[in-house]
Structure formats: C-alpha cells, structure tokens
Amino acid sequence: MEVKQPDLTKAVDLQAHHSGTGALRTRIPIYQDFLPPCNNACPAGENIQAWLSHVQAGEYFEAWQKLIEENPMPAIHGRVCYHPCESSCNRNAVDSTVSIHAVERFLGDKAIEEGWKPTFEKKPGGRRVMIVGAGPSGLSAAYHLARMGHGVEIFEAGPIAGGMMHFGIPAYRLPRNIIAEEVQRIEDMGVKIHLNYKVSDLLAEKAAGSFDAIFVAIGAHIGKKTDIPARDAGQIFDAVSFLREVDQGNAPKLGRRVAIYGGGNTAMDAARIAKRLGVDDAMIIYRRDREHMPAHEFEADEALAEGVKIHWLRTIKSIDQSNFTVEVMRVENGRPVPTGEFETIEADSLILALGQDTDTDFLRPISGMEFLNDGTVVVGPNMMTGHAGIFAGGDMVPSERTVTVAVGHGKKAARFIDAYLHDSTYFKPEKQPVVGPDRLHIWFQTYAPQQNQPHLSPTEAAKGFDEVVDGLSDSAARFEAQRCFSCGNCFECDGCFGACPEDAVIKLGPGKRYRFNYDLCTGCAVCYEQCPCHAIQMQPVGG
C-alpha cells in the first residue's frame, strides 16, 4: 500500500519553468512518493512505513491505529507471520532488515495491555453479511465489514474462534490468551460469533437470517493421507488432528520414538510438540533435502536446536510393527528421485504432516460454484464465487496458506462485498513504482544493529509450552523503528534543503515537507543526490 502523503508535484507549473538561473537547464527536481518494498510485500496490505514513522516518534497509539486500518490482529501477526516484508526490506543491502514483525508485536501487545479500541466512523446504510468460519480470513472480513457499518455474524463449526491459529499453531509460538484478546476486540465492535454451529445448507441459512451476502472461509482442516503398506503398525495420526488434540488437552500416547512424515512448518511443529510431550526421539522423515524443504529455515533451526532429528532424502515405503523401511532419495532438478537403497528406522508411532485439504462438499449443490481437483473453490478477482453474492477466501481458495495471506483475503473480500452491497465496483488504487536499494542515496552513518528478541534456551523451551520468543522493550522497539530508511517517501531530513546551492528549496513546516522555487533552481540535481530515500525525481523540463 502506498504511503498517503501530500502530492507536492501539483504545487508548481512544471511547463512554465524554462528560465531559472541555468540557461541550459534540461531537468528540474520534483517531489514524488514511491512505494516502499515492505508495504509492497505485505500480504495483508499494511502501510508499514507509515506506522513505523509513528513508532519512531513514540506515538504508539497512533501507530497501532494506523496498523489496524489494514490488519486487525497485530499481536498475532507479530508472532506468526513469516514477514515477507522483511525479506524485501532495503536495509538488507546495508546491514540487516528492520525487524518489522517485532515492532508489530510490540504494538499489538501494548494495545492489549492498555485496552485500546479501534477508532473509526461507521458508515450509514449497512447491510447484513454472513461469514462461515472464524479463522483469520473470516475474522478479518468481519472486522473490516464492521468498520464499514455492516452487521456481521460468523458461524463457526468448532468450539472456539481462531481456526487454524488455534489448532495449527502451537501455544509456544502463539499463546491462546493473545488470540482470545484480539478476537474479543472484534466481537466488541458488534460482530456476533456463533460457535459449534456447522453450516450444511448455505442458501437456507442465508434466507433464514436475511443475509445480503456471504463470505465463506472454512480453511483447510483435513490432513492429507498417503498409502503406506503397513502390518501391525503402531498408532498413525495426521498432524492437524494431533495438534488439535494436544491443544484441547487430549494428547495421545506416542511411545518412546515418533516419526513425523513431511517437511513443512507443520511437521516441524509436530516434532517439537512431541518432544514437549516427553518422547525420547522425534524424527522427521522428508523426501527432499534441506534446500528444497517447504518449511522456513528458522523453523528447522529451532526444531534441530530442541533435539529433533531430521532424516533428509528419505521416503517411507512400508511399516512392519515398529520397523519403518525407508528408501534413500536424491534430488534432481528440485525433485526427489529413488535410488534403490533402503534403510530401517524404528518408531512407535507416525504423524503424517503432508498438508491439508478443505471440506467444500457442502458447497457443491450451489449453482455456479467451481472447484479444482484438490477441492479448493474458484473465485474471481473480486473474491466472488460463480454464485452471485457468495464470496470465499483463505485456505479454501487457491493461494499460499498463511495467516497473513488469509487476513489479506478477508480485507480484500470485505471491500468487494461492500461494493456489491452498494451496487458498485471496488477498484484497487494503482501502485506507485517500488523503490529498490539501488535507488537510495544513503549518505549518513547507517550502521545500527537489529534489536534481537529474547529467546528461551532450546533446553528450557523443550520442557513445556511457554512462549519461546519474548517481545521488544519500549526503547528497543523505538530504536528498531528508527532503523527504517523511509524508502521512497520524504521524512523531512533537510538533506535537499541544506544541499541546494541556490536556496531553491523552501521548507513548508513540520509535516508539510518542501517545495521548489523554480525561478532559482538551476537543475543541478544536488538535491536529488542528497535525498537518502529517493523522494525526489529529476524530470525533463516541460515533461
């Protein structure tokens, strides 16, 4: 999302300024806002640079309000988002990325501690919207629709709101009280959540509740199976059911040694949970090598540090009681290829972490609905299914399956639903060009070490379900925010003002930035070269 700041290019008539001091002047500077790479990479569409600027000034409440314009659950996201914003951060080219997720968590936790509430004006003329599923996508859609003035009711088949945030993410990564607090804030806005209510006939429920539109976000809660020849095998679980049972206090008995089949983040979590439940050995079996695993690098690092063993390049061929026959694989062009070599691994139980499917059968009788082979529902660019008025998002549509992507879907769907209810069309604003590190002119001292979040030691972490990662302190969060380069957007550093040899740069006052006096400007481009964040462009005269 583009940072909303004044457009100073309209303050002057660029066509009229051919005179100035330099007779041969061919270019003149203009102030222009660009898109920071962090904003561009955020699946939830957060205006990261804008709320970081508030944190820099110690304006935490204002920062949180700006953040939740796009994302209603910052305390959750600061813990579980895989922060692609940081992978895109231009500071990576200098020292290390701004720890955006840590500052987001700081704001989310502070809001819970202080009891902050969203401030917004509800629009009149709201309609009634039904949401199926109280996971991250459904909660996000409900929040944004409520801000727009609509009446929203969520129908959740499970006993608690949160979806896979509850049943797919362990408590040591996401404490349950954090989910409860951020869900309660959404309920306090007037959103009604019906728990233990499984919708089987969508159109009948729509008619009975006099709803004007529906958003379906049921997630993907069914663990994928695989055919493994097994004789007198021990217990076999799917990872989703295993995590759910543990979360509900019904941890199964795994024996001394447990094998986890898969290489994603869920496999890493299942293995780490098994260690916490007291098994001697938790072994991940995965058919590719580490370079090609779907799990994030830090997930594997943390699992290994806690004593989890990983058997790379192995696939299970058969099970005979506690003996697992695995075939050694090799990777060719990123794909696993059998070698014909076999080994035996002993395990008392097996957890299948091979991905999740979505149960969309209840939607198949509805006219216009289209499905892919994996059961996911086809939606258009406006998040609407083939049946008018029924929208869908989150893990049940073809997309990357993360909490942040799901929250982004909910926000996007809310905007299209709002437009649909008002017989209009929502058009996403066009993005400004993204500013890469090669366009910055960093002339000041830049080295500032990233503020690390305190961690429990692996030995202590593996003893229980206490949160492994702690938050930043007030001073550390503010320091971290001040590491932001404000890429592409003027932050009034006075670089242009101090560098101009002709005094052609005019300060307009705090928060108002600058303008150019083109009668004095020679087009020398010193201001452009001194602007650290690339908020100045050199434009051809008359262009």
- How confident is the model over 103-126, as pLDDT tens digits? 999 999 999 999 999 998 878 778
Q: Are residues 26 and 47 in the same domain?
A: no
Is residue 5 scored above 70 in pLDDT?
Answer: no
Closest CA to 51 of 34, 70, 32: 70
Q: CA 310, CA 317: separation in Å to the nearest integer?
A: 17
Q: CA 359, CA 200: separation in Å to the nearest integer?
A: 11
Q: Work out how many domains the chain is built from and give that number.
A: 4
Q: CA 324, CA 347: separation in Å to the nearest integer?
A: 7
pLDDT for position 18:
41
Q: Are residues 471 and 510 in the same domain?
A: no
If one counts every other C-beta atom within 10 angstroms of the C-beta of residue 357, the result is 17
Where is average pLDDT lowest: 13-17, 191-195, 245-249, 391-395? 13-17
Owner of token pair 């780490």? 272
Q: Are residues 296 and 255 in the same domain?
A: yes
E strand intervals along 334-458: 335-346, 349-352, 356-357, 390-392
N-terminal to C-terminal alpha carbon distance within the chain:
27
- The kind and range of the H/E element at 142 are helix 136-147
pLDDT band at 7 (very low <50, low <70, confident <90, very high): very low
Closest CA to 81 of 327, 328, 323, 406: 406
Torsion sign across C-alpha atoms 193, 195, 199, 204: negative
Closest CA to 97 of 48, 35, 32, 34: 48
Instruction: Determine phi and psi for 128, rounding to 5 degrees.
Output: -105, 130
Amino acid of residue 306: E
Closest CA to 288 of 311, 255, 321: 311
Q: CATH number of the domain that 475 lies in?
A: 1.10.1060.10
Using an 8 Å Cβ cutoff, are 410 and 131 in contact? no
pLDDT band at 24 (very low <50, low <70, confident <90, very high): low
Tell me what percent of the residues of the chain surpass a pLDDT of 70: 94
Instruction: Determine phi and psi for 331, rounding to 5 degrees.
Output: -100, 125
Closest CA to 263 of 239, 233, 235: 239
Residues 475-526 have pLDDT tens digits of 999 999 999 999 999 999 999 999 999 999 999 998 899 999 999 999 999 9
Closest CA to 418 of 176, 162, 129, 122: 129
User: Average pLDDT of 169-191?
Assistant: 96
Amino acid of residue 26: T
Q: Are residues 242 and 295 in the same domain?
A: yes
Q: CATH number of the domain that 291 lies in?
A: 3.50.50.60
Q: Are residues 240 and 343 in the same domain?
A: yes
The average confidence (pLDDT) of the chain is 91
Is position 45 within any domain?
yes
Q: Are residues 166 and 235 in the same domain?
A: no
Q: What is the DSSP string of 288-307?
A: S-GGG-SS-HHHHHHHHHTT
Which residues constitute the domain of residue 523?
8-33+489-540
Q: Are residues 309 and 257 in the same domain?
A: yes
Q: CA 542, CA 34: separation in Å to the nearest integer?
A: 21
H helical segments located in 357-473: 403-421, 458-461
Name which residue leads in pLDDT, 445 or 67: 67
Is position 82 within any domain?
yes
pTM of the complete model: 0.90
Q: Are residues 132 and 213 in the same domain?
A: yes
Q: CA 470, CA 460: separation in Å to the nearest integer?
A: 14
Q: CA 168, CA 371: separation in Å to the nearest integer?
A: 24
Is position 435 within any domain?
no
Phi-psi region of 262 (alpha: psi -120 to 50; beta: other; left: phi over 0): left
Q: Between β-strands 257-261 and 235-238, what pairing exists: parallel, antiparallel or unpaired? A: unpaired
Owner of token pair 């070490």? 449
If one counts every other C-beta atom within 10 angstroms of the C-beta of residue 209, the result is 14
Is position 433 within any domain?
no
Owner of token pair 């990564």? 173
Q: Between β-strands 505-507 and 390-392, what pairing exists: parallel, antiparallel or unpaired? A: unpaired
Is position 301 within any domain?
yes
Q: Are residues 347 and 242 in the same domain?
A: yes
Amino acid of residue 394: G
